[in-house]
Structure 1
Amino acid sequence: MPEDCLPRERLESVGEKALSNQELLAILLRTGSKSVNVMEVASNFLNHFNHLHELKTATLTEMTEIKGIGRIKAIEMRAAIEFGYRIQQSTQIKYGKVSSSYQIAQNLINEMKDFQQEHLVCLYLNTKNEVIRRETIFKGSLNQSVAHPREIFRIAVKYSAARLILAHNHPSGNPTPSQSDIKFTERIKQCGEMMGIDVLDHIIVGDRGYISLREENFFLSE
């Protein structure tokens, strides 16, 4: 296997957190030069600066003084450093605060009333009940084989959600929950309890009205 590919292969197999600074930098640099391979260039680069913090202010001129770093690589490194800084400074996008099931339902009725298929939507909340993520989990008939808890909670873990709210539409226009709806909700709530993620509600919307399983006490056990 070519030496230039080793850091990339390792990232795929063990993840980026297991890689050294030299390996991560080698991936960004991509290639070495005629006289030194990419790992050596990465080593030269890191040794040129006393600390990673100095890279924030390293100039193009300073970078091109390093063996194996030309103008193009220096420009790419400056761009990568600035992009990393902007990511660090960014905040998580929030989509508003949930105050009631009624509020959510009214928005969903307007959006979903004309859907010809069932859409299962999940709202992911932080501890302040702010919606940090919204995902359409699937389209089709709601049953446990299609709407698997794995996908719902995979996203919850990815975005560090503390709570979630399920919602889906009934194309018939009648929001009355079926036995399948209730069993599915109970299963998701049990999974949430095991994972420490609160399932606050499951809202079913029709063409004019809605039913909140929390409000109707279908699955609450507080």
Structure 2
Amino acid sequence: MNYENKSFSIKSWAEDDRPREKLLLKGKSALSDAELIAILIGSGSRSESAVDLSKRILNSIDNNINKLGKLSVLDLQKFKGIGEAKAISIITAIELGRRRRLEGALELSKIASSQEVFNIMQPIIGELQHEEFWIIYLNNSNKVLLKEQSSKGGLTGTLVDVRLVFKKAIELFSTGIILCHNHPSGKLQPSNADKLITSKLKSAGDTLDIKVLDHLIITENAYFSFADENLM
């Protein structure tokens, strides 16, 4: 037998080593990230199994699933064995996971901590490559009335119109708001501009008897809370 020309098909593996069969026998939690991706792409090449191809992709991004979610169709097609259809399958699965996290967070009816704000907003702005500033409008029981993008900026900043923020709060009869924006750089420390807009919005809220409860800076994996750090 010519082993060099032998296809490394998952079907030729022991049943316990096949990702699909392993999932059925042992459950989804028993599968590694590479095995889960291998199920998505279905097959490798004549010289590489689907799992080995998946491992190669993951190794290139430090085995970080969040980084995998940032790869485009063209990025994934750079890996030998990944065509357009397989790339789309991977991106679709990652996006479904993101939406599942978002929907789970939105089921929360009342906000009681900065962590809960992060859980809601990270799937929306945590992985963006540009800054966005969002407002969460709350009623007097801290239940979410609305989440709304206030402004969208570039890589290093965004502008916020204080009048529009509180116009919406008044329309909603909101008694409190929470400010959120992301830092694409990954840095959590607030800039002078961040501190200035927080102070400006808090002062306006005090005048209108609408509390600015917190301001969160959100990155891919963490957050900074002005309230937690006693900066409100």
| Coarse TM-score class (shorter-chain normalised) | 0.5 to 0.7
In structure 2, C-alpha distance between the alignment counterparts of 1:101 and 1:142, rounded to whole Å: 22
State the match for 2:224 in structure 1.
211
Select the residue among 176, 197, 200 that pairs with 1:163: 176
Structure-1 separation of matches of 2:108 and 2:174 = 13
Which residues in structure 2 correspond to 1:1-222 (within 5 Å)?
Answer: 96-140=109-153, 142=157, 146-219=159-232
1:132 maps to amino acid: L
Asked if the contact 1:113/1:173 (under 8 Å) is kept, the reply is: no
Give the length in aligned residue pairs. 124
* Unmatched segments (≥5 aa) in structure 2: 1-106
Could you say what the CA RMSD is over the residues aligned between the two structures, in angstroms? 1.6
CA deviations 1:118-165 (Å, max 9, x no partner) are: 11110000001100111101101545xx31210100100111100000
1:202, 1:163 → 2: CA distance?
12
Structure 1 spans left out of the alignment, 5+ residues: 1-93
Pairwise CA distance, 1:95: 6.8
Cα deviation, residue 106, structure 1: 2.5
Larger of the two Rg values belongs to structure:
1
Q: Are 1:174 and 1:207, in contact at CA under 8 Å, matched by a contact in 2?
A: no
Q: Which moved more, 1:122-131 or 1:112-121?
A: 112-121
Q: TM-score, with normalisation over the residues of structure 1?
A: 0.53
- Residues 142, 197 of structure 1: CA spacing in aligned structure 2 closer, same or farther, 3 A cutoff? farther
Per the normalisation by structure 2, the TM-score is 0.51
CA contact (8 A) 2:205 2:212 kept: yes
Runs of 4+ with deviation above 4 angstroms: none
Helix, strand or coil for the counterpart of 1:173? coil
Question: 1-side partners of 2:157 and 2:206: how far apart?
Answer: 21
CA distance in 2, matches of 1:96, 1:188: 24
